């Protein structure tokens, strides 16, 4: 069991200087009973060490980007080389062309690409570009999908067939929230109704083709096909937010993944990227059809710029990360370990009578403490937060690091080993047994 006095101390200190003690609210332990989050000081491969020298096996993986494990030597060498040559020029570089070529080769729906600094920026700009192209202002998004923290997409709440935006954050004007229509994921009928009602005002339908933000959730067969067909019929654009999903399940985007039989029927007009394509440094990118992308300055009237955009360090790390992911067997390796881990978790939960819903997609999965399948946000909301909080803490005590959120996925990397998986299976079994025993009393 771990003891973390230095994390406690640093948290008290951080609270004095950094709002909430954290630089992203997802890092706080608010959702798992509060207290000090763990302050890490070093990471290598699949492992973390905290400031009290406890070791952890990492399944948080920085919320997705760390797919080759921490401090991968090939990526570290690329970053070092970039640093030695100067980190920021404010001019174009040859490296940017190389990463753009790699992205286009893997995601053929992107004729043209632009690099930015985060997933938030990428998504935010795809919306501007879609609005410029269609000369319309509304967007449709799906309940529970997170698309970064820009005003327009911080409108996630809403159940029922379709909801005109209620902001999820203070500071988002009602006039902006009113431009967003929210419908349930995996429900073509609701989307149809929304398009019938608002279709000629809708610039774009924004979706995570494979959801990563209320669990890992596959679109039902035919859902993306229907979505694309109905959206185009309404004269709106299809935007895929692939900030989590691109290069996560195979070398390419979610919509080029083999589980989808008719790729042409699910091609987006615009795609937003981030996370993995920066190899652990800040990055975002967006791209799409030539005519649509030509809206962007300096070619067109839609403005978007960035001092740090395309910086050599992020681009070099991204290229190096994709090079690692191109090696044969990389995805199959993560896949095999995730199958072992997910099967064992399910078996342990079953044996202690704890309802656990596991959605696994290749090397990552979500584990909802709830008794029915999770295919949309309403269903995900039935997840038992108390149970998750107990599980989270029991795992942490045994040196297993998960995201402090009941919806967040477990991510495997190319660095996780059979030994890591075996240790995690044992820890999870202990945790679930303890939870069942406490519940029985």
Distance of CA 180 to the CA centre of its chain: 21
SS (H, E, C) 115-165: EECCHHHHHHHHHHHHHHHHCCCEEEEECCCCCCCCHHHCCCCCCCCCEEC
Task: Report which secondary-structure segment, H or E, holds 43.
Answer: strand 40-44
- How many other C-beta atoms can be found within 10 angstroms of the C-beta atom of residue 281? 19
Residue 70 DSSP class: B
Q: C-beta of 255: minimal distance to ligand PMP in Å?
A: 14
Name the one range near ligand PMP by CB under 6 A: 42-50, 238-246, 353-361, 409-417.
Answer: 238-246
Among 64, 58, 28, smallest CA distance to 241 is for 64
Q: Is 147 in the site for ligand PMP (CB under 6 A)?
A: yes
In degrees and rounded to multiples of 5, residue 268 shows phi and psi of -85, 165
Residues 148-167 that bind ligand PMP (CB under 6 A): 148
Of the candidates 50, 275, 331, 407, the residue annotated as catalytic is 275
* Residue 336 to residue 339: CA distance in whole angstroms: 5
* Residue 222 to residue 227: CA distance in whole angstroms: 8
Q: Which is nearer to ligand PMP, 119 or 404 (CB)?
A: 119
Inter-residue contact 311 to 394 (CB < 8 Å): no
Residue with tokens 């403005």: 303
Residue with tokens 């501007």: 128
**Is 406 annotated as catalytic?**
no
Residues 53-92 that bind ligand PMP (CB under 6 A): 63
Q: Is 213 in the site for ligand PMP (CB under 6 A)?
A: yes
Q: 244, 266, 313, 334: which one contacts ligand PMP (CB under 6 A)?
A: 244
* Residue 190 to residue 283: CA distance in whole angstroms: 34
**Is 241 annotated as catalytic?**
yes
Q: Closest residue (Cβ) to ligand PMP?
A: 119
Q: Is 276 in the site for ligand PMP (CB under 6 A)?
A: no
Q: Which is nearer to ligand PMP, 21 or 119 (CB)?
A: 119
Residue 274 DSSP class: E
Using DSSP's 3-state secondary structure scheme, residue 18 falls into coil
Q: C-beta of 343: minimal distance to ligand PMP in Å?
A: 26
What are residue 364's DSSP bridge partners?
361, 411
Using DSSP's 3-state secondary structure scheme, residue 296 falls into strand
Q: Which is nearer to ligand PMP, 7 or 314 (CB)?
A: 314
Q: C-beta of 24: minimal distance to ligand PMP in Å?
A: 8
Q: 54, 68, 109, 120: which one contacts ligand PMP (CB under 6 A)?
A: 120
Among 148, 188, 187, smallest CA distance to 168 is for 148
Residues 6-25 that bind ligand PMP (CB under 6 A): none
In degrees and rounded to multiples of 5, residue 257 shows phi and psi of -80, 140
Inter-residue contact 250 to 262 (CB < 8 Å): no
Residues 122-141 that bind ligand PMP (CB under 6 A): 123
Q: Is 146 in the site for ligand PMP (CB under 6 A)?
A: yes
Q: C-beta of 12: minimal distance to ligand PMP in Å?
A: 27
Q: 243, 315, 320, 342: which one contacts ligand PMP (CB under 6 A)?
A: 243
**Is 286 annotated as catalytic?**
no
Name the one range near ligand PMP by CB under 6 A: 81-89, 158-166, 239-247, 340-348.
Answer: 239-247
Among 290, 319, 321, smallest CA distance to 114 is for 290
Name the one range near ligand PMP by CB under 6 A: 118-126, 163-171, 181-189, 350-358.
Answer: 118-126
Q: Is 216 in the site for ligand PMP (CB under 6 A)?
A: no
Q: Which is nearer to ligand PMP, 213 or 413 (CB)?
A: 213
Among 13, 80, 68, 50, smallest CA distance to 414 is for 68
Using DSSP's 3-state secondary structure scheme, residue 406 falls into coil
Of the candidates 56, 63, 146, 286, the residue annotated as catalytic is 146
Q: C-beta of 197: minimal distance to ligand PMP in Å?
A: 26
Residues 91-110 that bind ligand PMP (CB under 6 A): none
Task: Report which secondary-structure segment, H or E, holds 57.
Answer: strand 55-58
Q: Which is nearer to ligand PMP, 63 or 392 (CB)?
A: 63
Q: 50, 208, 335, 408: which one contacts ligand PMP (CB under 6 A)?
A: 208
Of the candidates 50, 58, 241, 420, the residue annotated as catalytic is 241
Residue with tokens 């494979």: 210
Q: C-beta of 211: minimal distance to ligand PMP in Å?
A: 8
Q: Is 212 in the site for ligand PMP (CB under 6 A)?
A: yes
Q: 21, 45, 69, 119: which one contacts ligand PMP (CB under 6 A)?
A: 119
List the catalytic residues.
146, 241, 275
Interacting residues toward ligand PMP by CB under 6 A: 63, 118-120, 123, 146-148, 208, 212-213, 241, 243-244, 274
């Amino acid at each position: 069991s771990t003891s973390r006095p230095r994390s406690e101390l640093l948290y008290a200190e951080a609270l004095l200087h950094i709002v909430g003690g954290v630089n992203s609210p997802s890092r706080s332990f608010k959702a798992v009973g509060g207290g000090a989050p763990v302050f890490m000081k070093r990471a290598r491969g699949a492992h973390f060490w905290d400031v009290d020298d406890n070791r952890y096996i990492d399944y948080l993986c920085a919320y997705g980007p760390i797919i080759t494990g921490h401090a991968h030597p090939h990526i570290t060498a690329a970053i070092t080389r970039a640093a030695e040559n100067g980190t920021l020029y404010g001019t174009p570089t040859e490296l940017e062309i190389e990463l753009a070529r790699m992205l286009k080769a893997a995601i053929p729906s992107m004729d043209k690409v632009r690099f930015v600094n985060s997933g938030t920026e990428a998504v935010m700009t795809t919306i501007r570009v879609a609005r410029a192209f269609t000369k319309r202002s509304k967007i449709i998004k799906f309940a529970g999908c997170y698309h970064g923290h820009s005003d327009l997409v911080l409108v996630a709440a809403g159940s029922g067939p379709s909801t005109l935006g209620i902001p999820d954050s203070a500071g988002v004007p009602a006039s902006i929230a009113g431009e967003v229509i929210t419908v349930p994921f995996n429900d073509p009928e609701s989307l149809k109704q929304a398009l019938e009602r608002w279709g000629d005002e809708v610039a774009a339908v924004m979706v995570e083709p494979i959801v990563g933000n209320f669990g890992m959730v596959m679109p039902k067969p035919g859902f993306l096909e229907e979505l694309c067909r109905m959206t185009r019929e309404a004269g709106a654009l299809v935007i895929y937010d692939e900030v989590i999903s691109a290069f996560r399940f195979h070398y390419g985007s979610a919509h080029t993944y083999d589980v989808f039989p008719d790729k042409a029927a699910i091609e987006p007009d615009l795609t937003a990227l981030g996370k993995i394509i920066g190899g652990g440094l800040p990055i975002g990118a967006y791209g799409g059809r030539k005519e649509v992308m030509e809206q962007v300055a300096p070619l067109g009237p839609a403005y978007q710029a960035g001092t740090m955009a395309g910086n050599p360090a992020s681009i070099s790390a991204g290229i190096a990360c994709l090079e690692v992911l191109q090696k044969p067997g990389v995805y199959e390796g993560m896949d095999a370990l995730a199958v072992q881990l997910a099967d064992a978790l399910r078996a342990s939960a079953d044996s202690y009578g704890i309802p656990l819903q596991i959605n696994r997609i290749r090397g990552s999965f979500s584990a909802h403490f709830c008794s029915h399948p999770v295919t949309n946000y309403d269903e995900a909301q039935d997840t038992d937060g108390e149970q998750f909080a107990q599980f989270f803490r029991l795992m942490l005590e045994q040196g297993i690091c998960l995201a402090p959120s009941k919806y967040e996925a477990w991510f495997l990397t190319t660095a996780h080993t059979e030994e890591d998986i075996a240790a995690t299976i044992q820890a999870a079994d202990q945790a679930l047994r303890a939870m069942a025993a406490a519940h029985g009393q």
